[in-house]
Amino acid sequence: MTAFKWRLAAALTASALAGVGIATAAAPQPRGESGAAAALAGAPNQPAAGAVYPMARARPAAAARGAAIPLPAGGTFNGIRWELSDGTVDAGMLDATLAYNAACQWLRAWRDGRDAATALKVLARVPDWPALRDTESGDVLAMVAAEAAAGGGELATAVLVDCDASHAREVAYATRLGLTPST
Asked whether residue 27 carries a pLDDT value surpassing 90, the answer given is no
CA distance linking residue 179 with residue 107, whole number of Å: 22
Smallest CA-to-CA distance from 74 within 39, 38, 43, 114 is with: 114
Residue 38: predicted pLDDT = 72
pLDDT single digits (tens) 51-84: 899 998 999 999 999 999 999 999 999 999 999 9
β-partners of residue 88 are: 54
Smallest CA-to-CA distance from 67 within 90, 108, 39, 107 is with: 39
* 7 band by pLDDT with thresholds 50, 70 and 90: very low
Domain ranges of the chain: 3-21+33-177
Asked whether residue 93 carries a pLDDT value surpassing 50, the answer given is yes
Residue 21: predicted pLDDT = 36
DSSP annotation of 43: S
Question: What pTM, to 2 d.p., does this model score?
Answer: 0.81
Residue 43: predicted pLDDT = 67
